[in-house]
Amino acid sequence: MGNPVAHSQSPWIHARFAELTGQSLHYDKRHIALDGFTPAVRAFIQEGGRGCNITVPFKFEAAALATHISARATLAQASNLLQFNAGAIFSDNTDGAGLVNDIQRNAGFDLSGRHLLLIGAGGAGAGVLGPLILASPASITVANRTLSKATVLVARHAALALLQKTELSAQNLQTLAGRFDVVINATASSLSGTGVPISASTLKPGALAYDMMYGPAAQGFMTWAREHGATPRDGLGMLVEQAAEAFLVWRGVLPPSQQVLTELRLAQHTG
Ligand code: ATR
């Protein structure tokens, strides 16, 4: 469920997961009116719906609708997944686990002990900060154009960061200082066509530069990263991995996500 949702690859991904794991699953996309999220969920439950993914702009409403909420969705205050069971609505967020799995497992880049920069403190940034902290990096700097949003997000994650011994701080994007092993773009800057909102001096040589978007929206950031000696990566793997985690929540089976990511990349290249 989302708005817009026409471009979504999720039906294909989940159909492939079901095929590869022998699960019977029906997964469609639904375009929901901007003021119609809660009635749409109630109607879906009435029809016998068992669960769904939630995308922009309903992730906050989805978290608020829950009768039960996971720890990671509580920290994010946003949800990309609902599960319905005997009147209860369980809400979870698999975006961050998807990002971390793609970076560590698929890209082979270990986050522990590294210095991370997360740019963006909107819904996308909020969804991944908790799982990033759980990967035990040495530090995470959250930089945002509007500093107050980064400060609030950091404050909400301060206890978890303390437990994990990860130094967590907020910075203003315009006056950002420091050099990082991993730079993660969770801003909507590529959609606004304003270019990459940080200086290349933030990249350590060989840094991983990750854009949570994929397709044409990620290209500007990827090209910028490549031109400045960083290793670029788009968010297609995150998309597949968050779906795999969702499939695990719904079905108790972890699908072969790496195989499906390879197939998806191949399909994109061959058009
Ligand atoms: P999403 O759910 O995609 O995160 P959002 O909640 O609207 O969407 O957040 C968008 C993020 O992109 C915010 O961090 C926003 O910065 P502000 O909080 O200052 O608005 C950031 N963003 C959008 N356009 C940007 C730009 N041109 N330069 C830098 N940051 C930008």
Task: Give me the pLDDT at residue 194, please.
Answer: 77
Task: Give me the pLDDT at residue 266, please.
Answer: 94
Question: Is residue 33 pLDDT above 90, yes or no?
Answer: yes
Q: What is the pLDDT of residues 175-197, one digit of tens each?
A: 999 999 999 999 988 777 778 98
Q: What is the pLDDT of residues 131-166, one digit of tens each?
A: 999 999 999 999 999 999 999 999 999 999 999 999
Q: Is residue 5 part of a domain?
A: no
| Separation CA 189–CA 183 (nearest Å) | 15
Task: Give me the pLDDT at residue 21, please.
Answer: 98
Asked whether 106 lines ligand 1 (CB < 6 A), one says no
Residues 147 and 196 in one domain: yes
Average pLDDT, the chain: 96
- Is 59 in the active site? yes
Residues 85 and 210 in one domain: no
Residues 254 and 204 in one domain: no
Q: Give nearest CA residue, ligand 1 atom 31.
A: 189
Amino acid identity of 150?
Answer: A
Task: Give me the pLDDT at residue 118, please.
Answer: 98
Q: 124 C-alpha vs ligand 1 centroid, how far in Å?
A: 9
Residues 227 and 103 in one domain: yes
Q: Is residue 158 part of a domain?
A: yes
For 79, residues 6+ apart whose C-beta sits below 8 A from its C-beta are: 54, 59, 62, 63, 66, 69, 73, 91, 92, 93
Residues 43 and 111 in one domain: no
Residues 158 and 263 in one domain: no
Span 43-67, average pLDDT: 96
Asked whether 124 lines ligand 1 (CB < 6 A), one says yes
Question: Is residue 222 pLDDT above 70, yes or no?
Answer: yes
Both tokens of 42, joined, read 């109630």
Cβ atoms of 56 and 107 closer than 8 Å: no
Q: Give the helix ranges, DSSP H, for 7-93.
A: 10-21, 37-46, 59-65, 71-76
Span 8-20, average pLDDT: 97
Q: 146 C-alpha vs ligand 1 centroid, how far in Å?
A: 9
Q: Give nearest CA residue, ligand 1 atom 5.
A: 122
Q: Is residue 4 part of a domain?
A: no
**CATH number of the domain within which 203 lies:** 3.40.50.720
Residues 58 and 107 in one domain: no
Asked whether 121 lines ligand 1 (CB < 6 A), one says yes
Q: What is the pLDDT of residues 69-114, one digit of tens each?
A: 999 999 999 999 999 999 999 999 999 999 999 999 999 999 999 9
Span 112-129, average pLDDT: 96
Q: Give nearest CA residue, ligand 1 atom 23.
A: 188
What residues pair up with 228 in beta bridges, in sequence order? Answer: none
Residues 206 and 222 in one domain: yes
Asked whether 194 lines ligand 1 (CB < 6 A), one says yes
pLDDT bin (cut points 50, 70, 90) of residue 271 is low
Which range marks the domain in which residue 123 is found? Answer: 96-234
| Separation CA 158–CA 164 (nearest Å) | 10
Question: Is residue 269 pLDDT above 80, yes or no?
Answer: no
Q: Is residue 223 part of a domain?
A: yes
User: Of these residues, 59, 149, 165, 204, which one is catalytic?
Assistant: 59
Residues 62 and 180 in one domain: no
Q: Is residue 229 part of a domain?
A: yes
What percent of the chain clears pLDDT 90, i.e. is strictly above it? 93
Task: Give me the pLDDT at residue 64, please.
Answer: 94
Residues 80 and 101 in one domain: no
Q: How many independent structural domains does the chain possess?
A: 2
Q: 212 C-alpha vs ligand 1 centroid, how far in Å?
A: 13
Q: 125 C-alpha vs ligand 1 centroid, how far in Å?
A: 9
Asked whether 144 lines ligand 1 (CB < 6 A), one says yes
Q: Is residue 1 part of a domain?
A: no
Task: Give me the pLDDT at residue 192, please.
Answer: 75
Q: Is residue 240 part of a domain?
A: no
Asked whether 218 lines ligand 1 (CB < 6 A), one says no
Q: Give nearest CA residue, ligand 1 atom 21.
A: 187
Span 1-15, average pLDDT: 96
**CATH number of the domain within which 82 lies:** 3.40.50.10860
| Separation CA 109–CA 247 (nearest Å) | 24
Q: 24 C-alpha vs ligand 1 centroid, how far in Å?
A: 38
- Grouping H, G, I as helix, E, B as strand and the rest as coil, residue 212 is coil
Task: Give me the pLDDT at residue 188, please.
Answer: 85
Q: Is residue 2 part of a domain?
A: no
Helix, strand, coil tally for the chain in percent (to 5):
45, 20, 35
Q: Give nearest CA residue, ligand 1 atom 18.
A: 146
Both tokens of 124, joined, read 């996308």
Residues 101 and 225 in one domain: yes
Cβ atoms of 18 and 58 closer than 8 Å: no
Residues 54 and 152 in one domain: no
